[in-house]
Amino acid sequence: MNVGDKQYRTIWMEGSSVFMIDQNALPFKFRIYEAKNYKDTCRAIITMITRGAGAIGAAAGFAMAQAFLEEEIRGERTGTHQFIEIARKEVESTRPTARNLFYSSEKVYEAGLRSTSEALAKAQQLANENVADALKIGEHGNALISERCRILTHCNAGWLGFVDWGSALAPIYVAHRSGKNIFVFTDETRPRGQGARLTAWELQNEGVPHVIVPDNAGAHLMSKGMVDMVIVGADRVAANGDVANKIGTFGKAIVAKEFGVPFYVAAPLSTFDLSITDGSHIPIEERSADEVLYQNGPDGHGQIHRIRIASPGSGAINPAFDVTPAGYITGIITENGIIPPTKEAILLLKKL
């Protein structure tokens, strides 16, 4: 990703530490967070220092590799791997909806049972694959984007949501770099504002023309013929093509279908979960009500403050995701091509 005149990955591992761009500080400050052990990495996932399906997957893989390193340093490597079993449960309890997290923790766990060095190698391999898959998604998705295309996004599924490139934003970046004149409507994405804070920051760094729009402006924009297509990411894709993504995605899909706007989901195969028959079985994370009731922002001196924006004494509920049924989805953009959101297409793609 471009940050000024330097290239970064969202998350990487050096020695026994995992480094990541602190997404809670953006867009007001750019800083790197160091997680020195697997518990630090788990806390970073929970508190959303790192977030997004692909980045969470990489973080989970690195956290498991850290756990194997810690086990080796402690001299606790035994046939039962009690320390590792506890660590794996902690890693997998951080964010229950994102399939990539479980995919990576399982792969690194299996490698680590053979040796710590294999755990480290597997974690790095998964991070590298995340980048390669995202770029392929970008190339396939670019084929859908015409000159002067106006695209609506929701949440952040770009550089910051992956190790690099992203899913939903990867086609936008490839299209922009190929010289296409495109424009992006960036949903603010309440309550945490990942669109307004993160997607807009990314697009600004890349030089992609864009504006931030309120979450509830999508219907107006589409009714006026101002949106040519919608591209969103995914945290989990069920076997029948139902998709869990950031809360508010389902509403956009309903409106897109009403006005005949193509609605695409971008996701690597690691996000697909064939053990989940349909979206009704996808676990939906409930986050703190404070995310709805409070906001963080800088004062005139650059200091970040937390203020209440809702009626004192009122509570809130905060489901982090919703499920979009397959019938509302035009197609799913994967690293192996674009498929219809059907069980048959998903099974064939996974088999291949």
Residues assigned a catalytic role: 235
Structure tokens at 199: 């997607």
Dihedral class, residue 11 (left if φ above 0, else alpha if ψ from -120 to 50, else beta): beta
Q: Label the pairing between strands 263-266 and 229-232.
A: parallel
100 φ, ψ (degrees, to nearest 5): -60, -35
Own/partner contacts of 215-219, CB < 8 Å, gap of 24 or more, are 215/154, 215/187, 215/188, 215/189, 215/190, 215/248, 218/152, 218/185, 218/187, 218/251, 218/252, 218/255, 219/255
Q: Look up residue 263 and give its amino acid.
A: F
CB atoms within 10 A of CB 260: 8
Residue whose C-alpha is closest to residue 97's, from 271, 329, 350: 271
Size (the chain), residues:
352
Pairing of strands 294-298, 304-308: antiparallel
Radius of gyration of the chain (CA): 20
Are the C-beta atoms of 264 and 163 separated by less than 8 Å?
no
- Answer yes or no: are the C-beta atoms of 328 and 264 closer than 8 Å: no
CA distances to 83, 170, 299 from 142, rounded to whole Å, are: 45, 8, 40
